[in-house]
A and B are shown apart, each in its own frame.
Chain A
Amino acid sequence: MATIQTALPAQKSRRRVSWASGLVWIALVFAALFYLMPVYVMVINGLKDATNVSVATMWNLPDRLSGGGFGEAARRLWPNMRNSFFMVIPATVISAFLGSLNGCLLSKWKFRGSDVLFTILLFGFFIPYQVILLPLVRFLQLIGLYGTVPGLVLVHVIYGLPITTLMFRNYFAGVPTELIEAARVDGAGLLRIFTRVMLPLSIPAYVVVAIFQFTNIWNDFIFGVTVVPNPAAQPITIALYNLSGSFSVDWNVVMAGALVAALPTALVYVFLGRYFVRGLLAGSVKG
C-alpha cells in the first residue's frame, strides 16, 4: 500500500509501461510456441510406440510413453553418428588450428597484397559447392579418399579454411601489437611469438571457432551425400535423410531419429550458447 503515497503521474506512467510489457510478453509467448512447435511434434511422436503413432493423431499426446522409437532410431543411426564424430572432431581441430595460424599472420604479419589474398580466400566460403563437386569427387577418387570419412575430413578442413581464418583474423586484430613488440625485444622469432604468445591468448577464439565449425560440419549434407555413396560410411545427416524417406520405417522412429541427429549440436547450443552466438556474429558481421 506504500505506492498510494507516490505521485499520481508517475504511477500512471508505470502502469502504462507494465501494460505494454504484458502485451510484449504475450507476443513473445506466441512466437515461442511457433519456434517450439516442431520440437513438440518430434518429441511427442518420438515417444509413441509403433501401434500408437499415426500422422492423423500427430498433435495428440501419446497414450502411453514408449522408448521404442528412440531405441530403434539410436540402433539404426549409431554407426552413422560414429562416422559423424570421426569426421567432425579432426576436421574441427585441424581447421581451427590452420585458421588461427592464417588469421594471426594475416592480421599481425601483413605483407603487400595480403588483404587482397585474404579476400580471395574468403570468397571460398560463399561459393555454392555445386560448382566444385565434380572435380572434387574426381580428385578424391584419384587420391583414394573417395567414399571415406578421412576424405570428408580433408574436404571440411579445406572448405573450412576461409571462415576459420576470418574469425581468427578478426580476433587477433583486437590483440595489441605491443605484445609482439615485447616478445621481439626478448629475441623471439615469428614462430615462437605465435606459439608462445598468440596461441595461448587465442583460447577464447578457439572455443568460439570450434563450436561454429562443429555445428557447421555436423550439419553438412551436400559433401556427405556426394563424397560418400556407401550408406555405412555416411554421416548422420544423410542417414537421417534416408531413414525419413524409407517406407519400411515407422514414423515414431523417424521423429526420434531427427532428435537423435540433432542432439549433439543441440547440447552444444544449450550448454555453450553464449559462445555459439559470439561465433555467429563473428562469422558474419565483418567481412
Chain B
Amino acid sequence: MTTPPLIKQEVAGHAAARHRRALIPERAQSFLLLLPSFVAIAIFVYVFIAITFYISISNWRTLKVDLSVRQPPFATYAELFALPRFQADLRNTVVFTITFIVLATLLGLALAILLDRKVLGHTAFRNIFLFPYALSFVVTGVAWRWIFNPETGINLLFNALGVNAALAQAGLPPLKPGWTTDPTIALKINDLLAAVWPGAASLQVKLGIPVALIPVAIAATWQLSGFVMAMYIGGMATISDEVREAARIDGATEWQVYRRVIIPMLNPVTIVVVVLLLHTSLKIFDLVFTMSGVGPGFATDMPAIFVFETMFKATRYNLASAAAIFMLVVVGLVIIPYLARSLREE
C-alpha cells in the first residue's frame, strides 16, 4: 500500500514485458488446443447447415437420394410457403410467441416484484416457482395434456368451483372450452384484413387465435416463467436500496417506485428475457409434440414439428430442409444482433 507510485509502475511494466514475451508461443498453443472444438463446431454446425441448405434446393424429395439442383433452385421454398399446413404453422408461431412471451414475462416480473418484499417464506415460494424449469418439456406436456382434457381436466374444476352453476342461473351456457381439441379460430382477423387489403382474402389459412394454442402457451408459461422471475430477481439485486429510498422520500407510493423507477431500470434484463423466450418459442418442439401434437386442422402445429414429420415420416427431404433453413433464418434474425451486441460490449 505504501509503495511509491513510481516503483509500482516499474514493476508492472516489467511484468507486462515478460507477459508479452511469454505469450507469443503460448498464443499459438492456445489456438492449437482450441482447434479440435472449433473444427467440431465448424463441421457439426456450419457444414451441416450448408448441407441442409443444399438439400433444400435439390430434387431430393423421396427416399431415393437425388442431389441434382432443382430448377428453379428456390422452387421448394415457393412450394413450402404455399402449403396450407406451413401457413398454419406460421400463424401458430406468431400467435403462440406473442401469447407466451406476454404471459411469461408479465408473470415472471410480477412474481419477482412480489418476492422482492421478502415476506414470510419467500425462499420457499421462489423455489416452487422455479421448480418446473428443472423438468423436461415432455413431463410438462404429459401433465398438462390431462389438465386441459376437454371432457375432464380443468373443466371439472370449473364445475366444482360453481362457475357453471352460476352461469346456468344467469341463463348462460356452461363454460366448457374444448381446449386442445377445439380448432375454432377466435377473432376472425381475416375479414378485417380483407377489408383493408383485398389480397388477404386469398390466404388459405384463417388468421386469428386457434383456441387450442392457449393451453400450450399456458403450459409453456408454467414451465418458463420461473426462469423469467429468476432473471428479474438477479436484476433487482443489483439495484441498491438507496434508489428505492430516494424515490420514497420524493413521495412515491410503493406502486410508483416499481412503475417509475425499478421496472425502467430493469429494461436491460427485459431485453435479454424477451430475446431468450423468443428464440425458445420459435424453436418450440417437445412441449407441443407431447401435449397436443399437430392438433385438429393443424391448430397446434409448429414449424419444428413440421420439419420433424416431413423429414423422418414423410421423407420429403428438400421440403423439410427448406423449412429448417427458414427456422434458422428467423432464429438468426433474433439471436445474431444479440450476440453481436454482447461482443461489442466487451
Query: Chain B, 118-150, contact with A by CB distance < 8 Å: what is the 0/1 string?
Result: 011110010111111111111110111111010
Q: Which residue of A lies closest to B234 (CB)?
A: A281
Are B135 and A124 within 8 A (Cβ)?
Answer: no
Q: Chain A residues near B261: list those with CB within 8 A.
A: none
Rounded to whole angstroms, the CA-CA distance of A37 and B154 in the bound complex is 11
Q: Which of A28, A190, A254 contacts B29 (CB 8 A)?
A: A190
Are A56 and B156 within 8 A (Cβ)?
Answer: yes
Q: Chain A residues near B346: list those with CB within 8 A.
A: 115
Q: Chain A residues near B82: list those with CB within 8 A.
A: none
Query: Chain A, 215-235, contact with B by CB distance < 8 Å: what is the 0/1 string?
Result: 100111110011000000000
Are A281 and B117 within 8 A (Cβ)?
Answer: no
Does B64 interact with chain A (Cβ within 8 Å)?
A: no
Are A269 and B26 within 8 A (Cβ)?
Answer: no
Within the complex, what minimum Cβ distance (angstroms) separates B246 from chain A? 18
Are B134 and A215 within 8 A (Cβ)?
Answer: yes
Query: Chain A, 26-43, contact with B by CB distance < 8 Å: what is the 0/1 string?
Result: 011001101111110110
Rounded to whole angstroms, the CA-CA distance of A272 and B127 in the bound complex is 11
Are A42 and B143 within 8 A (Cβ)?
Answer: yes
Are A266 and B134 within 8 A (Cβ)?
Answer: yes
Are A102 and B34 within 8 A (Cβ)?
Answer: yes
Query: Chain A, 89-116, contact with B by CB distance < 8 Å: what is the 0/1 string?
Result: 0000000001001100110011100111
Q: Which of B22, B125, B134, B227 contacts A268 (CB 8 A)?
A: B134
Does B6 interact with chain A (Cβ within 8 Å)?
A: no
Rounded to whole angstroms, the CA-CA distance of A257 and B15 in the bound complex is 60
Q: Kindly specify which of B42-50, B176-184, B198-206, B208-216 makes contact with the partner chain.
A: B42-50
Q: Which of B26, B31, B133, B226 contacts A189 (CB 8 A)?
A: B26
Q: Chain B residues near A184: list those with CB within 8 A.
A: 18-19, 22
Q: How many residues of B contact A (CB 8 A)?
A: 101
Are B131 and A269 within 8 A (Cβ)?
Answer: yes
Q: Chain B residues near A159: list those with CB within 8 A.
A: 44
Does A273 interact with chain B (Cβ within 8 Å)?
A: yes
Q: Chain B residues near A81: list those with CB within 8 A.
A: none
* Given known A-B contacts A58-B153, A130-B324, A285-B272, A34 and B134 have beta carbons under 8 A apart: no
* Given known A-B contacts A269-B134, A286-B342, A135 and B48 have beta carbons under 8 A apart: yes
Q: Which residue of B lies closest to A185 (CB)?
A: B18
A 43-80 contacts with B by CB, 8 A: 55-56, 58-59
Are A132 and B44 within 8 A (Cβ)?
Answer: yes
Residue of B29, B119, B279, B321 with most partner-chain A CB within 10 A: B119
Does A199 interact with chain B (Cβ within 8 Å)?
A: no
* Given known A-B contacts A109-B26, A130-B324, A281-B231, A121 and B41 have beta carbons under 8 A apart: yes
Give the secondary structure class of A's interface: helix
Rounded to whole angstroms, the CA-CA distance of A41 and B130 in the bound complex is 18
Are B117 and A24 within 8 A (Cβ)?
Answer: yes
Are B41 and A161 within 8 A (Cβ)?
Answer: yes
Are A98 and B231 within 8 A (Cβ)?
Answer: no
Q: Kindly specify which of B72-80, B189-197, B307-315 makes contact with the partner chain.
A: B307-315
B 315-346 contacts with A by CB, 8 A: 317, 320-321, 323-325, 327-328, 331-332, 335-336, 338-343, 346
Within the complex, what minimum Cβ distance (angstroms) separates A150 from chain B? 16
Rounded to whole angstroms, the CA-CA distance of A237 and B285 in the bound complex is 13
Are B234 and A241 within 8 A (Cβ)?
Answer: no
Q: Which of A58, A226, A266 contacts B152 (CB 8 A)?
A: A58
Q: Chain A residues near B304: list those with CB within 8 A.
A: 128, 130
Q: How large is the interface on A (under 10, 10 to 19, 20 to 34, 35 or more residues)?
A: 35 or more
Q: Which residue of B lies closest to A124 (CB)?
A: B45
Does B30 interact with chain A (Cβ within 8 Å)?
A: yes
Does B33 interact with chain A (Cβ within 8 Å)?
A: yes
Q: Chain B residues near A98: list those with CB within 8 A.
A: 37
Are B149 and A221 within 8 A (Cβ)?
Answer: no
Are A101 and B33 within 8 A (Cβ)?
Answer: yes
Are A158 and B40 within 8 A (Cβ)?
Answer: yes
Does A208 interact with chain B (Cβ within 8 Å)?
A: no
Are A266 and B34 within 8 A (Cβ)?
Answer: no
Q: Chain A residues near B254: list those with CB within 8 A.
A: 20
Does A162 interact with chain B (Cβ within 8 Å)?
A: yes
Q: Chain A residues near B38: list those with CB within 8 A.
A: 117, 121
Within the complex, what minimum Cβ distance (angstroms) separates A57 from chain B? 8
Are B335 and A126 within 8 A (Cβ)?
Answer: yes
* Given known A-B contacts A35-B128, A128-B324, A161 and B40 have beta carbons under 8 A apart: yes
* Given known A-B contacts A105-B34, A116-B343, A135-B51, A128 and B283 have beta carbons under 8 A apart: yes
Rounded to whole angstroms, the CA-CA distance of A250 and B269 in the bound complex is 45
Q: A25-B120, A123-B336 are in contact. List 4 more A-B contacts (CB 8 A).
A: A59-B156, A123-B332, A221-B137, A281-B234
A sample of 9 inter-chain contacts (CB < 8 A) reads: A20-B117, A42-B143, A109-B30, A114-B34, A119-B342, A123-B45, A126-B339, A131-B48, A134-B55
Listed from nearest, the 4 A-B pairs whose CB atoms lie closest are A287-B342, A219-B136, A109-B30, A269-B134
A-binding residues in B (CB < 8 A): 15, 18-19, 22-23, 26-31, 33-34, 37-38, 40-41, 44-45, 47-49, 51-52, 55, 111, 114-115, 117, 119-122, 125, 127-140, 142-147, 149, 151-153, 156-157, 160, 222, 226-227, 230-231, 234, 254, 272, 276, 279, 282-283, 285-286, 289-290, 304, 307-308, 311-312, 317, 320-321, 323-325, 327-328, 331-332, 335-336, 338-343, 346
B-binding residues in A (CB < 8 A): 20-21, 24-25, 27-28, 31-32, 34-39, 41-42, 55-56, 58-59, 98, 101-102, 105-106, 109-111, 114-117, 119-124, 126-128, 130-136, 139, 158-159, 161-162, 165, 181, 184-185, 189-191, 215, 218-222, 225-226, 237-238, 240-241, 244, 251, 254-255, 257-258, 261-262, 265-266, 268-269, 273, 276-277, 280-281, 284-287
